[in-house]
Structure 1
């Protein structure tokens, strides 16, 4: 494994940017991906959130463009991402790493001014970071052009599938230059539908697996608090926010309505919180993120929109007010803390309806939760009551039951036979024998049997 970025033989301008940004030792994903990408290989990379993958694909792209300047061309690299927040985060990474270069980078996302973005496209930035929906609009109208594309990167491809963006991604691939180098990054490579994108995007890819999705993060502790219901959860969360020590905290809910309601409750308790969800327009999103970045609010309530793409230093606490619906979502949420070697705590509040989901997440991720209680706010709910399995009937009882069934069938047959003889005169067998002329013979046989004669 490489121990320093100097071993990659990067241009001086990038080395200066790395030093200013505080990059010293490559992470595992950077150590493996950067040399392979510099060789021009298509890559299929499985890497967890927070593993340093942004620099892993930005540095090879920037190194190629610095050493081989373009001569009158369009966009040379496209980075597709699922959310606006992740697009801005990657742009911020580019600005830090490329501050001593002449490379340019543009951002195309939904929710922003189309006129401003069209002006960005006309400048033909070397690197374009975009969400699929808005970029596809510009491709269909001819305002964007990918005929000069040299790199195509799909970041968090599994998240794009979750958001139903597979069709847009495949359409963009068809618009792009076939003779390109492609890199796909995903937290999990087992997502349904991912093979279809891989088949259209990559040619003979080299696979790189870093930080398996189910591997427990060594710098994150997982706490579990049992709750009795919504109001009980609110009081538990309020107590934790007041008594835990942290610079920034991130609270997740499963719905927009839940995020707004929780924000109103905490603001009513004089907590410095802001709310982020998918229905906010871009200006309001920027305002909320600005408040959180600056520290004017130290707690952000968000839906899973913010589970990926947020890279804010100093998040020491992640709260699952609502338990996520899948194990992968749990990882992406809790991956907002414990970054860059810092320690963090993921706290989950679990009520009775969420117990089975919590057990599924525990098994799927092989996690170890530390069960904790708050003085004065202990839950009456202690987990499901274990029920004894019903004992199977003894074998002898089954045999008796079988005999009884057989006897019932025989009696039923006898009754049917008796019904056939209803109204008929029953004639004794001895009378029948005499009528047939066999009675004397029968008597003689019985007498011979008594005397022992043959």
Structure 2
């Protein structure tokens, strides 16, 4: 129960009104050490309640009587506007019975208006790295008295090229007393370097190993011959699958625009979300999806983080994501908070290696699925087996019906000497006549 945590009564009152009864695993593990002032690095699956896990200890630390605000006391860094907006809403819900004031600073809003708002000095500043750096450069922002720094989805910020901005902002918070880092993925070697710089003797909490992420989501692949075949499969799935709301992910804005145009032309209630869209358009797309005005959202990875839509139960990867971490965040839009979800990836020959590397990263094998009405000729690469062409190598045994294999030398009559091909020089080729391929791995 939340009442078991050493939280202020005003926070417990807000929690009770929000019908929060039993803490999630990440909340049970993270809230007590965070309340004790420890630095934390927490890895837990998307939709597991990470926001409350850092919001409640943060608010508990700052809670007090009303007094003039003269400094920013906490900074929460996030990768996208959508995630920042969602976090602000959560902070305001939890702090409704306190005097704590939170403020949002992201791109897409008026810079002068933000500068004026910053002069009122909020207790908690929630923002994206790029716009915060702009306000630092303009002299509108001071962070030297920040007590608590929260890095949410820090791996995504690194993926988006915010490494220098993150380093500078954490440096501006040099006098902080606590740092909390939350993410759904490990982030790899670059993240380990960041952790070494920003966390001080942290407690590491891994609530879910990568192979355990998204356990409530069925993961399938459907093979396709080409992009046109993928489009036909997509239309079939949207017409025949049972779902409340769906997201279709692409790797490029141009592909997202193309799919969106095709869907609208066929009468599908769809909306589109990518980096070229204005802030108002992106906000409208998410609101329409949440309210049910549109059942389908076509998006690039800008929507893979910070999008929490109730009833979103189908994710289709039109393009396979380029890393295991990105895959985790995409399919994490469904199967949230114990609900069941379905994630389908459409795989052409040029997607197969990416798909295989994601399977290795997750230590999982995706379910293979075939749509009978649209079955294509491509069903994955053919296995390359030793053929016994090189001299001195093993001979391949014959199947019972003799198909698909060469007969062994013992059973096959020898050719006349004049027609026999010369043997390959020893040591010049491998057993299958090919140089060994280097295995490519993906850490995500």
TM-score, normalising length from structure 1?
A: 0.83
CA RMSD of aligned residues (A): 2.2
The secondary structure found in structure 2 opposite 1:260 is helix
Measured after TM superposition, the shift of residue 296 of structure 1 is: 0.9
| Counterpart residue number, 1:148 | 145
How far 1:400 moved relative to its partner?
12
Q: Which moved more, 1:377-386 or 1:27-36?
A: 377-386
The residue that corresponds to 1:133 in the other structure is 130
Tell me the equivalent position of 1:293. 290
Q: How far apart are the structure 1 equivalents of 2:29 and 2:315?
A: 30
Distance 1:216 1:180, change over 3 A: closer
**Which has the higher Rg, Structure 1 or Structure 2?**
1
The Cα of 1:228 is off from its aligned counterpart by 1.3
Shift of 1:55: 0.6
Distance, in Å, in 1 between the alignment partners of 2:204 and 2:38 is: 10
Closer/same/farther in 2, CA of residues 316 and 72 from structure 1, 3 Å limit: closer
Question: Quick one: distance in 2 between partners of 1:197 and 1:221?
Answer: 33
Q: Which residue of structure 1 aligns with residue 321 of structure 2?
A: 324
Q: Paired residue for 2:331?
A: 334
- Deviation larger for 74-83 or 352-361: 352-361
| Matches of 2:203 and 2:40, distance apart in 1 | 5
Match of 1:313 among 303, 310, 314: 310
What runs of 5+ residues in structure 2 fail to find an aligned partner? 395-421, 427-444
Task: Say which SS state the counterpart of residue 188 (structure 2) adopts.
Answer: coil
Match of 2:118 among 117, 121, 124: 121
Deviations 1:14-55 (A, max 9, x none): 223223323221111111111001111111222232221111
Q: Secondary structure at the match of 1:49?
A: coil
| Worse-superposed segment, 288-297 or 187-196 | 187-196
Range with bigger deviation, 101-110 or 191-200: 191-200
In structure 1, list runs of 5 or more residues that go unmatched.
403-454
- 2:276 counterpart (273, 279, 283): 279
Q: State yes or no: 1:394 paired with 2:392.
A: yes
Deviates more, 1:13-22 or 1:346-355: 13-22
Asked if the contact 2:102/2:124 (under 8 Å) is kept, the reply is: yes
Which range moves more in the overlay, 26-35 or 5-14?
5-14
Which of 364, 368, 373 aligns to 1:367? It is 364
Aligned residues: 399
Q: 1:395 to 1:273 in 2, by over 3 A?
A: closer
Q: Which residue of 1 aligns with 2:90?
A: 93
Cα separation, partners in 2 of 1:246 and 1:400, compared to 1, 3 Å = closer
Larger helix percent: 1
Instruction: Tell me if the contact between 2:69 and 2:123 (Cα under 8 Å) persists in the aligned partners.
Output: no
CA contact (8 A) 2:76 2:127 kept: yes
